[in-house]
A and B are shown apart, each in its own frame.
Chain A
């Protein structure tokens, strides 16, 4: 082949690839639904997971009904005995700022336990928990002050195990009791804890670690679902086979799909980062040029995977189901949203089979100079996955009817 012909072939190839890429873009721009979901989905994801898992800037206040039976009458007034009152004070009674700091809002309730059991009351009131200070509790506390062998003074905590927050509330009450214990019995605390952040991470917050993972999760879900459906639909309506009757080659067509995925991933990343800045104070200084490389090869990985899945899907309807079956486990097990270290050991091993595990790891490692040396292995794996899955995906794409 002459040199001239060689370069002409390259030019024609690039022209075909760009024709398909720009065709996809034009079709996308003209599809209001596609544009809407491309922009809305990452915003929803970052807001949802940011508020759920980032923790900062949000206060969860658990409403805790309490029944204080340990009271006495002075005229028309009902007054609590001292240690009971002190316990309630430790739990933020009449002190909103303490209550917010503890995460508790005390709500006084009044019912006769000889007429209705506390559990039944809770059922009627649809209450998740109830703190009951029984009559005589303060007297028992005072007795313990005088005699260490006196029976322990116990408050009662009723809870519905169906609420995950009931454990949280129990811990708060337990801490308050320990505090009161130390105070009443003059116990000096000699053991404590000093907290220090890892170097150069002092100014970063939890959201700064979530953003990269959420970006990749968004790319993997929307990118894969979109492409698998597109390929399945293209086979069903015959456009792919019409394309295969032209000089366009399979790998050129696959590359055009990948290029579009890369373009859209950069848009999604920017959108997610900006939303993080506005909603959670995400620091743009955490972005490193290597993030772009990771995004590119991460998108190639997911696009390649999408082409592989599309190979085995018979219809556009089946495409959605097949993609979700892969994407959802990956989302939760890859460590992008839930840190791997909180998962059981066997799940941590499973996490390693998902491409997103390495991509998210690379994204996080690239955030700081201090952790940059750790980026090269996951980055290398990400690049290799991008290339391998692209080659496999285009090789497996059905380009001819059987």
Chain B
């Protein structure tokens, strides 16, 4: 029986244990219909395991989960659910010897309701590669096909597990555009990622997951405001004398750090205009001033004591 709800996903104390390892440790969350919900965490945090449980392709140890109102513990509910969701697994693969078009046609036939194949090919910009076999596509193009396959049945809810892993920056941004397009069409997107920029740009709600537990939940702005470090205003000067002058002029704004050629002021309150006024009033020369806002990376670091590992130092 389907529960009608404003939420696309509800989980209550979801747990998945393997012998000595607890991969998912009591995850409770609610995903609103029509939003982009991001699960942000490093590799091995439990993101994929959670997603697979919600998709119905992995068993759980305990807890409850309702996806689009269907109870994933009930076989008939799960059968109904699978008609309405689309999935892009983290390690996506499809039939090597079929072309892009043939693969889309194959997966379309799994469903009663399909989107036109040509529309899907156009959506992910694979028109020129429509007749190319999957095995001959680059990694980025394969991933794009994976996204198209996830949408063949025009799903209400799409699970995208690390959709831009391994893509170059341009391909990544193109994928973001596709995801934003889904949101505009009213789809609910459940996204997992270890790229904090991706979560910041795309997500309405972010759940930060660490060692199987949700350590923070909210919009990116809320999380940064609550758990993020202070803003940093960086004044770049050309000499040590200038730096001393900056120190003496701006000390009241907040703690300062000095690095090669620059002074960093951590402050929640001060604005860059205020700093410029102060420096000009005291006629302190400087080269330029920039603001560095805290990010979800800072949030993760402050909450867990560990780095998230984004584009630089990416473990993928």
Are the CB atoms of B94 and A242 closer together than 8 Å?
A: yes
- Complex CA gap A30/B58 in Å reads 33
Tell me which of B82-90, B192-200, B213-221, B251-259 binds A.
B82-90
Chain A proximity of B44: nearest CB distance (Å) = 16
Q: Which residue of A lies closest to B93 (CB)?
A: A237
* Most B Cβ at <10 Å: residue of A246, A400, A401: A246
State whether A246 and B107 are in contact (beta carbons under 8 Å apart), knowing that A27-B95, A238-B93, A241-B89 are contacts in the complex.
yes
The contact of B109 among A19, A30, A242, A245, by CB within 8 Å, is A19
Say whether A402 faces chain B, with CB atoms less than 8 Å apart: yes
CB atoms of A238 and B91 under 8 A apart: yes
CA distance A251 to B289 in the complex (A): 66
User: Which of B25-33, B49-57, B241-249, B290-298 sits within the interface?
Assistant: B49-57
A310 to B144, CA, bound (A): 31
Q: Decide if B98 touches A248 in the complex (CB within 8 Å).
A: no
Cβ–Cβ contact A239 & B59, under 8 A: no
A31 at the B interface (CB under 8 A): yes
Q: B102 near A: Cβ within 8 Å?
A: yes
Number of A residues, CB within 8 Å of B: 25
> Would you call the interface of chain A mostly helix, strand, loop, or mixed?
helix
Report the bound CA distance from A249 to B78 in whole Å: 11
- Residue A247 CB within 8 A of the other chain: yes
B57 A15 Cβ-Cβ under 8 A:
no
Q: Which residues of B contact A402 (CB under 8 A)?
A: 18, 58-59
The closest CB in chain A to the CB of B90 belongs to: A238
Min CB distance A24 to B, Å, is: 9
> Shortest Cβ distance from A117 into chain B, in angstroms?
66
Does A171 interact with chain B (Cβ within 8 Å)? no
The answer to whether A12 touches B112, judged by C-beta atoms less than 8 angstroms apart, is: yes
**Chain B proximity of A241: nearest CB distance (Å):** 5
B-side contacts of A244, CB under 8 Å: 56-57
A16 at the A/B interface (Cβ < 8 Å)?
Answer: yes
CB of B52 to closest CB in A, whole Å: 6
**B107 CB contacts on chain A under 8 angstroms:** 246
CB of A247 within 8 A of CB of B110, answer: yes
Residues of chain B with a CB closer than 8 A to A249's CB: 79
A74 contacts partner chain B, Cβ-Cβ < 8 Å: no
Q: CA A31 – CA B96 in complex, angstroms?
A: 10
Which chain B residue lies CB-closest to A18? Answer: B109
Taken together as a complex, chains A and B put the C-alpha atoms of A15 and B87 apart, in Å, by: 21
B103–chain A nearest beta-carbon distance, Å: 9
Interface residues of A in 1-43 (CB under 8 A from B): 8, 12, 15-16, 19, 23, 26-27, 30-31
Known contacts A246-B110, A246-B111; decide if A27 and B97 are in contact (CB<8 Å). yes
Contacts of A30 in B (CB 8 A): 97, 133
Are the C-beta atoms of A242 and B52 separated by less than 8 Å?
no
* B:142-187 near A, CB below 8 Å: none
Chain B residues near A12 (CB-CB < 8 A) = 112
A23 contact from B93, B98, B111, Cβ within 8 A: B98
Q: How many residues of B contact A (CB 8 A)?
A: 29
CB-based contact B97/A19 at 8 Å: no
A residues 174-229 near B (Cβ < 8 Å) are: none
Bound-state Cα–Cα, A247 to B55, Å: 12
CB < 8 Å A-B pair total: 71
Binary interface profile of A, 247-262, with partner B (CB < 8 Å = 1, else 0)? 1110000000000000
A101–B55 alpha-carbon span in the complex (Å): 74
Task: Evaluate whether A239 and B95 lie within 8 angstroms (CB atoms) in the complex, with A12-B112, A245-B82 already known.
Answer: yes
Are B89 and A242 interface neighbours, CB within 8 A? yes
Task: Indicate if the CB atoms of B98 and A242 lie closer than 8 Å.
Answer: no
Q: Give chain A nearest CB distance to B24 CB in angstroms.
A: 13
Set of chain B residues within 8 Å of A400, measured between Cβ atoms: 56-59
Please, which residue of chain A has its CB at the minimum distance from the CB of B18?
A402
Q: B91 — which chain A residues lie within 8 A by C-beta?
A: 237-238
Among residues of B, the one whose C-beta sits closest to the C-beta of A22 is: B106
CB atoms of A19 and B59 under 8 A apart: no
Bound complex: CA of A247 vs CA of B92, how far in Å?
A: 18
**With A26-B102, A27-B95, A402-B58 in contact, do A247 and B109 touch (Cβ < 8 Å)?**
no
Q: When the two chains form their complex, are residues B89 and A247 in contact, meaning their CB atoms are under 8 A apart?
A: no
A34 to chain B, nearest CB (A): 10
Contact A247 B57, beta carbon cutoff 8 Å = no
User: What is the 8 Å Cβ interface bit string for chain A, positions 376-402, against chain B (1 contact, 0 not)?
Assistant: 000000000000000000000000111
Assess whether B93 is in contact with A19, with CB atoms less than 8 Å apart. no
In the assembled complex, the Cα of A99 lies from the Cα of B95 at a distance in Å of: 61
State the CA gap A248–B108 with chains docked (Å): 11
Chain A residues closer than 8 Å to B58, beta-carbon distance:
400-402
Query: Are the CB atoms of B79 and A247 closer together than 8 Å?
Result: yes
Decide: A245 and B93 in contact? CB cutoff 8 A: no
Instruction: Look across to chain A and name the residue whose beta carbon is closest to the beta carbon of B48.
Output: A401
Taking a contact as CB atoms under 8 Å apart, the answer to whether B57 and A19 are in contact is no
Residues A16 and B110 in contact, CB atoms below 8 Å apart: yes
The CA of A249 and the CA of B96, in the complex, are separated in Å by 22
Q: What is the CA–CA distance of A402 and B23 in the complex, to the nearest angstrom?
A: 12
User: Max chain B CB contacts within 10 Å: which of A12, A15, A242, A244?
Assistant: A242
| Closest partner residue, chain A, to B53 (CB atom) | A401
In chain B, what residue has the closest Cβ to A20?
Answer: B106
Kindly list chain B residues whose C-beta atoms are within 8 Å of the C-beta of A31: 97
Contact residues in A for B109 (Cβ distance below 8 Å): 15-16, 19
Q: Is A401's CB under 8 angstroms from B57's CB?
A: yes
* CB of B62, distance to nearest CB on chain A (Å): 15
Contact A246 B82 (CB under 8 A): yes
Residues of A in contact with B (beta carbons under 8 Å apart): 8, 12, 15-16, 19, 23, 26-27, 30-31, 237-239, 241-249, 400-402
The 5 tightest CB contacts between A and B, nearest first, are A19-B109, A246-B110, A401-B58, A237-B93, A30-B97
**Sample of 17 further A-B pairs with CB below 8 A, known A27-B95, A402-B18:** A8-B112, A19-B109, A26-B97, A26-B102, A30-B97, A237-B91, A238-B89, A238-B92, A239-B93, A239-B95, A242-B89, A246-B110, A246-B111, A247-B79, A247-B83, A249-B79, A402-B59
9 pairs, A vs B, C-beta closer than 8 Å: A15-B109, A238-B91, A238-B93, A242-B93, A246-B107, A248-B110, A400-B57, A401-B52, A401-B57
